[in-house]
Amino acid sequence: MKTREDIKGIICAMVTPMHADESVDLKGVRRQTRRQIEAGVHGVFCLGTNGEGYILSHKEKLEVAQAMIDENAGRLPVYVGTGCVSTRETAELSREAERLGADVLSVVCPYFAAASQDELYAHFAEVAESVSIPVLLYNIPMRTGVNLAVDTVKCLAQIPNIAGIKDSSGNFDQILQYIEKTPGDFIVLSGNDSLALWTLQAGGKGAICGIANLFPKRMVSIYERFLLGDFEGAKQASDSIRAIRDCFKLGNPNSIVKLALNLLGQDVGPCRRPFWTDSEAVREKLKAVLDSCYKGAE
């Protein structure tokens, strides 16, 4: 099992490959896991937002996690998204992921029904107490409808195996406060690719990136150049992903990443409906961006 100190760098928030009939492609999971490892990422992550964890069955989640863990074979930390709506199901899935060999759990805020900050604290505390491996809080308010307040995170950071937070709010001031108001060993990761470098500069430990599905080496270079003191090189790599991120306005970001992967020759299939954008107009616009900015790039 990896330690808290291993939670750092560029972690790919991997898509879940699917067949044309929307069934999970476990061979594809293994293939994409190998591709990320070979590209030099610092961790692999399944069942997050890009991994469509929100729409997979309990059984499918376990199958995807097992395929990634087996293919990884202990080489990198494996992060598994185990957040569900109920505390009971989240704790159950978290225990099962730990038994399968997950190194770190990512637990998104409960969604759909509004939760108070006290309820969020109780939820995360109970889940953390149900397992012995590190837990990352996952804050993505535009998808869950609730934001993890800084004071709540400050309190949760006192629980020994709550190791850190992935923040996908896009609110950089909040990231700064998470860093400033939690203990020095509490890990703050950006869930927004464009804020990866700035989070590192502020004292964060890295990022969990969807764009790493497309260009893992480029995303890794942001982190590695930063560590070498090459801020300008890191910024150049960070700026280079802007064009593809701008394409997210063309549809659901998950479907844009999968469509781009398919256009790059990586057969990952569709997103599970209804969350799938595959119009010819979108395909042509995306292809033009890939051809002009990213031809041959990883």
For residue 211, being part of any structural domain is answered with yes
For residue 292, being part of any structural domain is answered with no
pTM over 0.85: yes
As a whole number of angstroms, the distance between CA 255 and CA 230 comes to 33
For residue 247, being part of any structural domain is answered with no
Residues 6+ apart with CB under 8 A from 123: 87, 90, 110, 115
Q: How many Cα atoms within 13 Å fall on the side-chain side of residue 265?
A: 7
Q: Are 43 and 11 in contact (CB under 8 A)?
A: yes
Question: Residue 164: which pLDDT band, with cuts at 50, 70 and 90?
Answer: very high
Q: Are 194 and 241 in contact (CB under 8 A)?
A: yes
Token digits for 84? 């569900």
Average pLDDT over residues 173-189: 98
Kindly report, residue by residue over 75-113, the tens digit of the pLDDT.
999 999 999 999 999 999 999 999 999 999 999 999 999
For residue 274, being part of any structural domain is answered with no
Q: Phi first, then psi: what are they for 108, rounded to 5°?
A: -75, 155
| CATH code of the domain containing 156 | 3.20.20.70
As a whole number of angstroms, the distance between CA 258 and CA 50 comes to 9
Q: Are 43 and 68 in contact (CB under 8 A)?
A: no
Q: What angle (nearest 5°) sits at the alpha carbon of residue 100, between those of residues 95 and 102? A: 80
Residue 99: the pLDDT is: 98
Catalytic-role residue among 166, 178, 223, 294: 166
Q: Are 127 and 95 in contact (CB under 8 A)?
A: no
Query: Domain total for the chain?
Result: 1
Q: Are 29 and 21 in contact (CB under 8 A)?
A: no
Residue 4: the pLDDT is: 86
Q: Which pairs from 118-126 meet CB under 8 Å and 24+ separation?
A: 120/146, 120/148, 120/152, 121/152, 121/155, 121/156, 122/87, 123/87, 123/90, 124/156, 124/159, 124/162, 125/156, 125/159, 126/87, 126/91
What is each CA distance from 244 to 206, 208, 212, in whole angstroms? 20, 17, 12
The one-letter amino acid code at 209 reads: C
Residue 194: the pLDDT is: 96
Q: Specify whether 166 is catalytic.
A: yes
Determine the length of the chain: 298
Report helix, strand or coil for 56: coil
For residue 131, being part of any structural domain is answered with yes
For residue 261, being part of any structural domain is answered with no
User: What end-to-end distance do the CA atoms of the chain give, in Å?
Assistant: 29
Query: Which residues span the domain enclosing 127?
Result: 6-228
**Which single residue is written with the structure tokens 């972690």?**
11
* In the predicted structure, residue 245 carries a pLDDT above the cut 90: yes
For residue 149, being part of any structural domain is answered with yes
Top-confidence residue, 243 or 2 = 243
Question: Residue 294: which pLDDT band, with cuts at 50, 70 and 90?
Answer: confident
pLDDT more than 70, % of the chain: 99
Average pLDDT over residues 244-262: 95
CB-neighbour burial class of residue 129 (10 A; exposed 0-12, middle 13-18, buried 19+): middle
Residue 5: the pLDDT is: 87
Residue 278: the pLDDT is: 87
Token digits for 125? 């505390």
For residue 239, being part of any structural domain is answered with no
Average pLDDT over residues 258-278: 95
Average pLDDT over residues 9-23: 98
Question: Residue 2: which pLDDT band, with cuts at 50, 70 and 90?
Answer: low
Catalytic-role residue among 79, 138, 178, 223: 138
Kindly report, residue by residue over 17-76, the tens digit of the pLDDT.
999 999 999 999 999 999 999 999 999 999 999 999 999 999 999 999 999 999 999 999
Token digits for 51? 């991994």
Q: Specify whether 138 is catalytic.
A: yes
Per-residue 3-state assignment (H helix, E strand, C coil) for 97-139: HHHHCCCEEEEECCCCCCCCHHHHHHHHHHHHHCCCCCEEEEE
